[in-house]
A and B are shown apart, each in its own frame.
Chain A
Amino acid sequence: MAERAAGDRDILKPGGSTLRRLLDVLGSFKLAAYLIAILLGWVVVGQLVPQVDYLGPAEAARYREAAPALAASMAALGLDRVFTSWYFLATVALLATSVIVCTLDRATRGEGRVRRPFLTADAVAKRSLRLLDVEVSAPEAAEQARAVFAARHLQVGRREQAGALAVTGSGGRWGFWGSVTFHSALIVIAVGAVIGALTSSRAELTMVEGRTIAVGPSTLEGAVLPRVGVGPSGFSLAMGPPALSYEQERPIDVRVPLSVVEGGARVSGDDVRVNYPLQHRGTSFLLDRMGLAVRVRTSRSGRAVDDVLVTLKDRRADGYGGSYGLPDGTRVRILAVPDMRTPLGVPMTRPLELRDPGAYAQIGATGTAEVTGTVRPVGPIGVGETTTVAGLEVSIEDVRPWASFLVRSVGGRPILYAGFWLAVAALCVRFGDPRRELMVRIVPRGTGTPGASAVALLARSRYGRLGTARAERALARALGLDPNAFADEVRDR
């Protein structure tokens, strides 16, 4: 945040209008400090009060049950959803506005005015600088100082003051623009976040190997549509056979090939892995989970009742389960479990693998009756066998892997990322080129010591002594002095 220097003419805020006073307050450092403190307060509240958005429905219900009075009062105050509350978002928005005003203020006031020289003739004249004798003439000393400053990429100036020479070196121009760029990057991030909030959509998509699904509202589950624009649509996705690598019966690498189909032709595709989503038209498809899907044909007395694809999403101790309902109210449960028998018939325990050659499917039904039976599958996980359950003939027609994807579309993401890295790069520039000024005062010693002079150094840097220490040491060496000769010199930061 910029601190206003007395006497600065303000380009951003002409006149003494209400607008000027408002902008003055908005761009003030004090306001930013208060807002950060308030933000901290909200974060602490968000930490202490259970936040239902993070608890999830089941945990949130348990919390409400365990402490109904507390939960009700927190909900009434809106403190159980601090991070989506209007007061939290208003604080963030106000802080972003403060940064914007401050940055515009700083940039429009321009480098020249912000960067008035630290070391003015008056300031130097007030100092009683300790003069160190050197064995070079005044012009030579001045030339050495100029060379040292130039070698350090400092802007060199030279003037005469009351019979003495003064050579100045100043730097930090890039640092200033680094600061402006950094604050601008924060604005870019804020803009990206706002665009993202308005245009983002989220949903889930479950796909089965070998199938093609048109992406759109009818196929996306739990879709939260964007406030502006439409969600992902206008293309289809096809899922190929997943590749799984196992190590000690655990999958160590899972890749799901997804192809994007538009107008009946494949336009792009990728092997989707965790951390490596498929990107298409600004929408990301992130692999979330996988499992088995079973195509089940159900008939009664030889007459087909149903033909469904059941995704086995319920995790059980010994496998995965799923269910489907029939028109008469009967619910058929499918449970895929591993074959627990070794070739010698010895029972064993192991997890079910996706391509498990020895898996069983257990089938049960609830509703009008409950009976369980088992089907011994053939092939990879058992296809083509039939069993009778509660008067129903249930056949496993097909078993395929399914995969579920998080579908995310965040409009401002490229802007955000650009803002992130711009901020990092700007910080490097900001602190890599600190504002610093050095002034060497050179007094000729006319009599007794021909060719000699005396020098004094005044240095100033907002970064303290470290900002100018290297230049000081180089200058001392160039003048034939001890490298630390100026170390204890008067300096003004």
Chain B
Amino acid sequence: MNQAVITLFWVSLAVYGLATVLFVWGALLKRERLVRAGMWVAGAGLVAHTAAVALRWIAAGRIPVIEDYENALVTAWATVIAFFLLTWRYPRLRPAGALVMPFVLLTLGYGATISPAIPEYADAYKSPWLVTHVIFAWMTYATYSVAAGCGLAEILKTRAEKRGPLAAGSFYDRLPSIPVLQDVTFRLVVFGFLVNAVMIASGAIWAYRLWGSYWSWDPVENWSLITWLAYGLYLHLRLTIGWRGTRLAWIAVLALVGVMMTFWGIQLFPTTYHLFRQMKDIGRVGGPGRIPGL
């Protein structure tokens, strides 16, 4: 069954690649038809992607929350779902696919570099706090990614408007109005901030129950905290200081760097407890140190 997962993974990767081309092409040429086609193709990719997630769940016999392959698979899926939910509510946001889909592609592309073998369901992973932590991490990733997409759409539309009045029916004209883009970005950041808080809290509790420290100033924890503070800054700038416009949108876009570092960039550095390949050995029967094995 895992072979089917791998096949569907690659199918969705390829189809999303095509959708990305259509979205970006549509954005560059300002052709609405290409964007619509991008939505259909992305929808087809989502069907394959959903099947991949479901089959992985069945094949692993547990919710796919373990290690980078599963996290890339499901995080990208959550991002596409968030994008479709948003465009279902605000159809004029479809061109934001030109910003969201490359992101999905990168996430899946990272997953493609990881072994798709089903990892052992080690004791360290058997915790409801891990499931809570990871599910909220997916939601955080998806929400912030789409918020960044909306923020970038606002920046581009504002620039286009500064160059002169938008022609009726033009690409930028078809995007939602600036206030709506601002409101949607803000709402997404609010939701992301909330689920990010749950992610951090549940992760801290899991960490304590697993290795006896709820906060270790681990690089992943630090980036996670910094990201949360950055989005907290965004909220304060909007709600307390009253910032609006592109400078606030830039913060929504740039704060995504923190999200990226927390989720993927951190794998580049060796000094973190969050490298999942080490976790599976905790509590094993046998040898010395914190990472024994059988």
Mark A residues whose CB is within 8 Å of B: 1-3, 29, 32-33, 36, 39-40, 43, 46-47, 50-51, 54-55, 83-84, 193, 202, 244, 250-254, 273-277, 284, 286-291, 313-316, 320, 351-354, 406, 408, 410, 413, 416-417, 420-421, 423-424, 427-428, 431, 462-466, 493
Q: Does B204 contact A (CB under 8 A)?
A: yes
Interface centre among A2, A43, A462 (most CB of B within 10 A): A43
Would B283 and A413 count as touching, CB distance under 8 A? Answer: no
* 17 A-B pairs with C-beta separation under 8 A: A1-B236, A54-B218, A54-B271, A288-B282, A289-B284, A289-B288, A289-B289, A290-B285, A320-B286, A353-B294, A408-B208, A410-B208, A416-B214, A420-B201, A421-B201, A431-B194, A465-B183
Residues on A with beta carbons closer than 8 Å to the beta carbon of B272: 54
Residues on A with beta carbons closer than 8 Å to the beta carbon of B285: 244, 251, 254, 289-291, 353-354
Q: Does B190 contact A (CB under 8 A)?
A: yes
Residues on B with beta carbons closer than 8 Å to the beta carbon of A36: 226, 229-230, 233
Separation of A33 and B235 alpha carbons in the complex (Å): 12
Residues on A with beta carbons closer than 8 Å to the beta carbon of B264: none
Q: Which residue of B lies closest to A202 (CB)?
A: B212
Chain B 169-196, CB-CB to A under 8 Å as 1, else 0, gives: 0000000000110111011001001100
| A275 and B126 contact, Cβ closer than 8 Å, known pairs A83-B222, A465-B183 | yes
Q: Does B123 contact A (CB under 8 A)?
A: yes
Separation of A165 and B265 alpha carbons in the complex (Å): 59
Interface of B is mostly: helix
Would A408 and B197 count as touching, CB distance under 8 A? Answer: no
Chain B 201-228, CB-CB to A under 8 Å as 1, else 0, gives: 1001110111111110111001101100
Q: Does B160 contact A (CB under 8 A)?
A: no
Number of chain B residues close to chain A: CB under 8 A: 66
The listed residue (B180, B222, B239) touching A46 by CB distance below 8 A is B222
Q: Separation in Å of the B71 CB from the closest CB of chain A?
A: 19
Q: Which residue of B lies closest to A40 (CB)?
A: B226
Mark B residues whose CB is within 8 Å of A: 120-121, 123-124, 126-127, 129, 179-180, 182-184, 186-187, 190, 193-194, 197-198, 200-201, 204-206, 208-215, 217-219, 222-223, 225-226, 229-230, 233, 236, 238-242, 244, 269-273, 282-290, 292-294
How many residue pairs between the two chains, A and B, have CB atoms under 8 Å in the bound complex?
170
Would B212 and A286 count as touching, CB distance under 8 A? Answer: yes
Residues on A with beta carbons closer than 8 Å to the beta carbon of B210: 274-275, 286
Separation of A2 and B240 alpha carbons in the complex (Å): 6
The listed residue (A83, A351, A413, A431) touching B214 by CB distance below 8 A is A413
Residues on B with beta carbons closer than 8 Å to the beta carbon of A462: 238-239
Q: Separation in Å of the A183 CB from the closest CB of chain B?
A: 11
Would A423 and B126 count as touching, CB distance under 8 A? Answer: no
Would A417 and B205 count as touching, CB distance under 8 A? Answer: yes
Q: Which residue of A lies closest to B281 (CB)?
A: A289
Would A315 and B286 count as touching, CB distance under 8 A? Answer: yes
Would A43 and B218 count as touching, CB distance under 8 A? Answer: no
| A315 and B287 contact, Cβ closer than 8 Å, known pairs A274-B210, A465-B179 | yes
| A431 and B190 contact, Cβ closer than 8 Å, known pairs A244-B285, A275-B210, A423-B197 | yes
The listed residue (A55, A314, A464) touching B186 by CB distance below 8 A is A464
Residues on A with beta carbons closer than 8 Å to the beta carbon of B194: 424, 427-428, 431
Separation of A354 and B201 alpha carbons in the complex (Å): 36
The listed residue (B123, B182, B286) touching A291 by CB distance below 8 A is B286
Would A276 and B288 count as touching, CB distance under 8 A? Answer: no
